[in-house]
Amino acid sequence: MLLLLVTAMIAAQRTAAHAKSAPRYTMRGHIAPVLKQYKPMHAADSHQSMHLAVSLRLRNEAQLDALIAAQNDPHSSLYHRYITPEYFTEHFAPDEQTIERVSDYLRANGLSIDNVSSNHQLISMSGSMENAEKAFAVSISDYQIDGQVVYAPTDEPSVPAELGDVILHVSGLDSIAHYRHFAQFAPRASTVPGSGPVGGYTPTELRAAYNVNPLLNAGYNGKGQTVALFELDGYTPSNVNTYLQHYNLGSTKYSNVLIDGARNTAGSGALEVELDMEVLSAIAPQATQKVYIGPNSANGALDIYNRIVSDNSAKVISISWGQCERDTGTALVDAMDNVFKQGVAQGQAFFAASGDSGAYGCDDKQLNVDYPAGDPHVVGVGGTKLSINSDNTYASESAWSSPSGQRIGGGGGGISQHFSRPAYQDGVQSNAKRAVPDVSADADINSGYSLYIQGHWDIVGGTSAAAPLWAGIATNVNQYLQAQNKPTLGSGHEALYSLYKNQQQYAPYHDVTSGNNLYYNAKQGYDMATGMGTPDAWNIARDLAAKSGSTTSGGSTGTTTGGDTSGSGSTNTGGNTGGDTSGSGSTNTGGNTGGNTNPPCYHRGYRYNNCNPNTSGSTNGGNTGYPGYPGGGYPYPGGNNGYPGYGPNW
C-alpha cells in the first residue's frame, strides 16, 4: 500500500510539473484498455531514450471521404480514378505551416525531429522520456503485464489548445503495442490432408481448389505486378528458396524495405514472414514481392503502413499481423485509418488476416475483432477448413473453429466497436457497425498448408495464410483485368461486394454454410464466421471483366425477402429473380451479352437457373456532386475532365 501511495504521489508531482498554465487539448484514446487490469509499479526511468511519432489530422477530410465514395461509385465520372501520393499531399495532407508549428513546439520541449514523412502524416522524433513527458504533459510508469515490464502513460496526453486541431495521435509513449502474427502449426504427430512432404496442401492443390489454374494457364501469374508484405520480423531467404525450388515455382523476385532501423534478421516471427512469402508465391509466382520490415511496435507498424502508401508501388498489400481492436487504442486506430484512406484513394487494396481467436479477438471471453482487419478501408480475411476431391478440385468448406486441443482458435469475425457500417455493407448485414470478415479462405491447421519454415517442412494454418492467398488471387485477377483493358479490383471492397450484391453469370464465391468461429454460425449468404465466402479466382476474374464492360442502374426488379436481420448471417429465403431490393442501391442490368442467352446466375450465395436477362444501358449521369465539394465539383486543377495528378485507371 505504501508503495502505491508513493507511486501515486510521484506521478502527481510529475504531471503537475509538466502541466502548462495555458489551455491544453487532451487527446483521448491513448491509454490502452488492458491497463485497467493492472496498477503501475513505479515511475519509469525518465532518462531513457524514446522514439516517438506524431500523427497529424488530415486536411479536407470530408472531401477525401467523398472522393473515395466517388471512386467506388460506378455512376460517378470519378469511378476508379485514383490519385497519386503527390496529389494526396497537395490536397489532403497537413500543409507546411502545420508541420512547422508542430515541429517548433516539439523542439521547444527538447525533442529532436528525425523525419517528416513525404505525405506529411507523420513527424518522427526522439528524446528523453523526461522531455516527452513535458511535451505531452503525462507521467509514464512501469507496469508488469504477463510477466513483462512495460512502460505506459498513466494519463491521457495533451498539447497546447492551438495544436489540438492538428495533432491526432502520439505513438511511442508506451511499449505495450506488440502485434501478433496469426500463424499456427499442426502438431507433429497429426495427420493432415494434402500431399506435402509431411502433409498439408501444396500449391497444386490450393490452385485447383480455388480455381486459380485457368488464370495461371493463360499466363496471369502475377508478372508485372507488385505485392507489399507488411512484416514485423525478418526471415531466412534460403527457407523461401527451398520452398520455391521444391514446388517448381521459379525464382520469385523479392526485395526488402527496412523501416526505422530494422534489419532482416530472423527472429521468433520469421515463420510468419516466410509463410506470407511462400503462400503468395504459390498463387502468384511471378509477382514482385516487396517485404516491408519494421520494429514490432505501434511506431513501427504505423511507419510501415505509411511507407507502403507513400511508395504506392504495390496495388495489393498482405497483412498477417494484428492486435485486438480494443487494445489498440482509439487514437492509434484513427491514425492508421488515415493512412489506409490514402491507400484506397490511390487504388491500393489491403488484405488483412482477421485473427485466430474466433469471435474473441482479445483472447478472453469478450467478443472483439482484430485490427486492422476491422478497418473499413481494409479487406478482412477470415478462416475456413477446406476439403478437396481426389483430383484436387474443391469439395467443401466449413467455418474454422478449434474449440479444444492444444490451441483453441477459429477464424476471426464479429462487430467492430469503433467503426460504423461502411456503405458497401449496406443491405448485406444489418448491424450499425462494421462487420468482419469480408471474405475467407483455408486457415484451419487440420487442413493446413505445406510450407518450409525455419529450416524444416511443416503444416501451417491460421488466417495468416488466408490473407496472402487472397492477395495472390487479387494480384492475378488484376493482371487479367489489365490485359482486358478493364478496371482492376482497385481498393477491393466495391469490386468484391458488387459481385455478391448483384447477380453474376459465374459463382464468384463458395458460400460456406456450416460450422462456426466459436460464436457466429456460418449460414447462407453473408455471416460473421466466413464473410461472403471463399474465392473462385477464375470466376471472380470473369465476373469483374463482365461487370466492368457493363453498366448499372439503381432500382431493382427482383424480390428478395430477407437479408441479414440478425447481425450475424443472412436469412434470405429466396424468390430473387434478378434484382437486389435489400438496400444496396444497385442492380446489374447491363453488359453481359456473350454465351448462353439465359444462363444460370449467382446472387448472395444462391444459384438461379432462370435469371432475367440483362437489358438496360447506361444511366451514368456523370458527376452529380458529393458532399463537401463546393458546387458539387471537385478541387482538381483543370476541372473534371483531365484528372491531373491521377494514376492509371486501375
Cα 521 to Cα 514: distance, rounded to the nearest angstrom = 7
**Burial class (CB within 10 angstroms; exposed 0-12, middle 13-18, buried 19+) of 331:** buried
Best CA proximity match to 375, nearest among 413, 336, 403? 336
pLDDT at 607 (0 to 100): 67
Best CA proximity match to 626, nearest among 63, 58, 82, 60? 63
Contacts of 97 (CB under 8 A, 6+ apart): none
Interval 507-550: pLDDT, tens: 999 999 999 999 999 999 999 999 999 999 999 999 999 985 43
Grid cell digits, residue 217:
494457364
Residue 516 DSSP class: B
Contacts of 528 (CB under 8 A, 6+ apart): 359, 413, 414, 415, 429, 435, 436, 437, 517, 520, 567, 568, 569
Residue 569 DSSP class: B
Stretches where the chain sits below pLDDT 70 are: 1-21, 177, 180-191, 404-408, 548-599, 605-650
- Sign, CA torsion 532/70/548/378: negative
Q: How far is CA 298 from CA 6, 322, 333, 334, 593, in A?
A: 30, 11, 10, 13, 51
Q: How far is CA 536 from CA 149, 384, 542, 629, in A?
A: 47, 14, 10, 39
Best CA proximity match to 373, nearest among 338, 325, 443? 325
Phi, psi of 54 (to 5 degrees): -100, 125
What residues pair up with 401 in beta bridges, in sequence order? Answer: 410
Spell out the domain ranges in the chain. Answer: 2-57+93-171, 180-540
Best CA proximity match to 229, nearest among 300, 295, 321, 303? 321
Element (H, E) at 472: helix 463-483
Grid cell digits, residue 370:
482484430
- Please state, for a pLDDT cut of 70, what percent of the chain lies above it: 79
pLDDT at 551 (0 to 100): 34
Cα 631 to Cα 462: distance, rounded to the nearest angstrom = 49
Q: Pairing state of beta strands 184-185 and 122-128?
A: unpaired
- Looking at residue 601, its amino acid is C
Q: How far is CA 159 from CA 53, 55, 119, 126, in A?
A: 14, 13, 22, 17
Interval 364-407: pLDDT, tens: 788 999 999 999 999 999 999 999 999 999 999 999 998 765 56
Residue 398 DSSP class: E
Interval 579-637: pLDDT, tens: 333 333 333 333 333 334 456 777 776 666 656 544 333 333 333 333 333 333 334 33
Interval 227-241: pLDDT, tens: 999 999 999 999 999
Contacts of 96 (CB under 8 A, 6+ apart): none
Contacts of 249 (CB under 8 A, 6+ apart): 203, 243, 281, 282, 285
377, 395 Cβ separation under 8 angstroms: no
Cα 449 to Cα 466: distance, rounded to the nearest angstrom = 10
Grid cell digits, residue 24:
491544453
Following DSSP, what letter does each residue of 419-457 receive, concatenated? Answer: EEPPGGGTTT---SEEEE-SEEEE--GGG-EEEEETTEE
Best CA proximity match to 587, nearest among 619, 540, 610, 562? 619
pLDDT at 327 (0 to 100): 81
The dihedral formed by the CA atoms of 82, 87, 89 and 94, expressed in degrees to the nearest 10: -100
pLDDT at 324 (0 to 100): 87
Domain 180-540 architecture:
3-Layer(aba) Sandwich (3.40)
Residue 201 DSSP class: B
